[in-house]
Structure 1
Amino acid sequence: MTPRESFKIGDLEVAPGAEAMGDLPLARLVTGNTISMPLRVIHGRDEGPTVWLSAAVHGDEIAGVEIIRRVLDQVNALTLAGTIIAVPIVNVHGFLNGDRYFPDRRDLNRSFPGSPTGSLAGRVAHLFVTQIVDRCDVGIDLHTGSDHRINLPQIRADLDDPFTRELAVAFGAPLMLHAKLRDGSMRAAATSRGATVLLYEGGEAWRFNEQAVEAGTRGVLRVFDRLSMTGNGEPLDDSDVPESRSTSWVRARRTGLVQLHAKLGEYVEKGSPLVTIHDSVGRRLGSTKAPTNGIVIGHTQQPLVNQGDAIVHIARLDSEPTNVIRHGKDFT
């Protein structure tokens, strides 16, 4: 049998059955210091797919960094079939600044596939596509809620593509959401170049929400198992993974302090109470009921709301799933 070739990326050359850490140079800071995108490569001894794991595409969404750490702690290059390219911090500038965006306020996830001569975000997007995406068969991009919102662990993907759906089911998140490709996103750029991509959402910005981190860790390992790369994933009964093809935000009808009546992951029925809003002296200003049956997949963490603010995110379901929460039990 012909041995696998070494895997080369940036300044790394990783032998079969080995792993290495390195970086891809991005730019220079105004101080003159260089700034780089950190990498960790695990190159299995046996043939298999090449998969990337990415996090912090938005600089304040840090939970994926911890998910990647926990996943790689359970991967052994000597028994791995294939190659894993882990990029725990894609938006290094935003991560260092504690900001979702780049210094010029551009959203990296609206800047793909980028350009080698474009904006800073466009240049980083181009580097990621040409150095990471183009080497991979599958990608798992890890995100959290933003702007003082928390998200239920969920997979967003093209569920009409059979292989993508197979991996989404294997991930085993509390919900699969059929999501159209959005121009400028990593997922759209990677899909157009032939990669299969899962986008994971869970938790909130600047927090290690344990349920979201654990669900993400288990899910990535299950995908590795489905790809026959490892044997580390937990067995999963995937016969009843809830699926949604439509979501909507319930918005504040009045300005005030919001009281939530539905918990993250809870199945709500049309007409059931969702929120009540009071003013600062305790006067009840109004309440809002669920406009449809569905699962609460996100909600605000900010008690103070203005009229029109998004409060509760509901995913519609064709039928009530069997593994929903009731009376505040944890969905995950």
Structure 2
Amino acid sequence: MREPFILGDESVAAGTRRTVDLPVSVLSDHSPVTLSAHVIHGKRPGTVMFVSAGVHGDEVIGAEIVRRLLRAAPLSRMSGTLVAVPIVNSFGFINRSRYLPDRRDLNRCFPGSPAGSLAARLAHLFLTQIVTRCDVGIDLHSAAVGRTNLPQIRLTPGNPRLRELGEVFAAPVTMTSKTREGSLRLAASEAGVDLLLFEAGEGLRFDEHAARTGVAGILRVMAKLDMIAGRGVPRARGPSVYCERSSWMRAPSGGLLRTLKRRGDFVEKGQVLGVVSDPFGEREAEVVADVTGIVIGRSDLPVVNEGDALFHVAEPREMARAEAAAERFEDDLDAPPLYDEDEII
């Protein structure tokens, strides 16, 4: 029998699961705020993995992915340990805001400090109590409010293990992305913890395709790490399209945007992605693709200012594979929702 997993003041025995609340702060009205983590501690030893969401409080799709993951049947006979944190930034989540009350971005405050700002203290608690106690992690994000992302994995360059796990996750697109100062990815890397970053969907919105892709990808990674058996784990519909560069197409003028391409579409250099016109329809300016690739992100806001980022296009390494994959993405996006049993009306 394995030793219990200790988190805060709680002890989670092998073969059991429990939600543990770690004290973070007290609000001005004396309401306590906690960092809540659900621990599944398998009977057999194995990889210790964390799955986190809500580092940005308005990125709610990650919380839905964690909820579905914790209900997944393969987790009933698990080896190793899973620590799932559906909402890291409770302050932002409650206020439907990306930031904390002091307007700091939590993902620019790592590794944090126990004696620093509110953001620094939360970053330090999450890093020391959750992240550094694990071997590998998956951090779930979405686009900001008014934007939407095609499900994609972002990898730290030069890490072969992450590249392998990214391929197993099999999101529609896999991209290399440098770490940024103060980010969770950089802090985890410096602590020796391999971290996959999953981007999908839109801020303050649920997205069925993003949710299904996220849950399936996490389960495939867990199976690869021998944490769960392969039975019941969704198979990848095809290989991920690997991209090393991407570009934003920006508004040539201010006005009203009519989009002609959606996320997942394959576009060629010189192709028109959208049109910006003035409210009278007297002047129009085309938004033209500067590169050939896949639309991995897009603005959903019709009112734009000159210079606003409108379309995010990633450049695939293999164009032929990317064109074929784009057709598969279209089928996935048009597929009907797959509801939980208790959600069927």
User: Structures share a fold, TM > 0.5?
Assistant: yes
**Counterpart in the other structure of 1:249:** 248
Query: How far apart are the structure 1 equivalents of 2:27 and 2:271?
Result: 52
Q: Paired residue for 1:137?
A: 135
- Count of residue pairs the alignment pairs up: 329
Partner of 1:82: 80
What corresponds to 1:234 in structure 2?
234
1:279 is the counterpart of 2:278: yes
The 3 A distance-change label for structure 1 pair 222 and 159 is farther
Residue aligning to 2:263: 264
Q: Give 1:78 deviation, angstroms.
A: 5.3
> Residue 76 of structure 1: CA displacement?
5.8
Deviation, 1:327, is: 11
Q: Which has the higher helix share?
A: 2
Q: 1:54 aligns with which of 52, 55, 72?
A: 52
Q: Retained in 2: the 8 A contact 1:19–1:77?
A: no
Name whichever of 73-82 and 280-289 sits farther off.
Answer: 73-82
Q: Are the aligned partners of 1:177 and 1:243 in contact in 2 as well (CA < 8 Å)?
A: yes
Q: How does 1:8-19 map to 2 (within 5 A)?
A: 8-19=6-17
Shift of 1:329: 2.5
Cα shift at 1:158: 1.9
Distance 1:285 1:329 in 2: 28
Give the Cα separation in 2 of the matches to 1:328 and 1:139: 26
In 1, Cα distance between the equivalents of 2:317 and 2:30? 56
* Equivalent position SS for 2:330: coil
* Of 191-200 and 317-326, the range deviating more from structure 2: 317-326
- Greater shift after overlay, 224-233 or 184-193? 224-233
Q: Which moved more, 1:246-255 or 1:77-86?
A: 77-86
Report the RMSD for the aligned CA atoms in angstroms. Answer: 1.6
TM (norm. structure 2) is 0.92
Structure-2 residue corresponding to 1:324? 325
State the shift of 1:20 in Å. Answer: 0.5
Does residue 122 (structure 1) correspond to residue 120 (structure 2)? The answer is: yes
Give the letter aligned to residue 204 of structure 2.
W
Equivalent position SS for 2:326: coil
1:181 aligns with one of 179, 182, 200: 179
Amino acid across the alignment from 1:145: A
2:153 to 149, 152, 155: 155
In 2, Cα distance between equivalents of 1:68 and 1:259? 34
76 and 314 in structure 1: CA distance in 2 versus 1, 3 angstrom threshold? closer
Amino acid at match of 1:324: A
Is the alpha carbon distance of 1:77 and 1:300 closer, same or farther for their aligned partners in structure 2, counting shifts above 3 Å?
A: closer
Q: What residue number does 2:343 align with?
A: none
Change (3 A) 1:277 1:113: same
Is 1:23 matched with 2:24?
A: no
Distance in 2 (CA, whole Å) between partners of 1:72 and 1:172 is 20
| Gaps in structure 1 of 5+ consecutive residues | none
Helix, strand or coil at the partner of 2:145: coil
Matching residue of 2:98: 100
- Kindly indicate whether residue 36 of structure 2 is the aligned counterpart of residue 38 of structure 1: yes
Query: 2 CA distance for matches of 1:159 and 1:171?
Result: 17
- The answer to whether the 8 A contact 2:17-2:38 is kept is yes
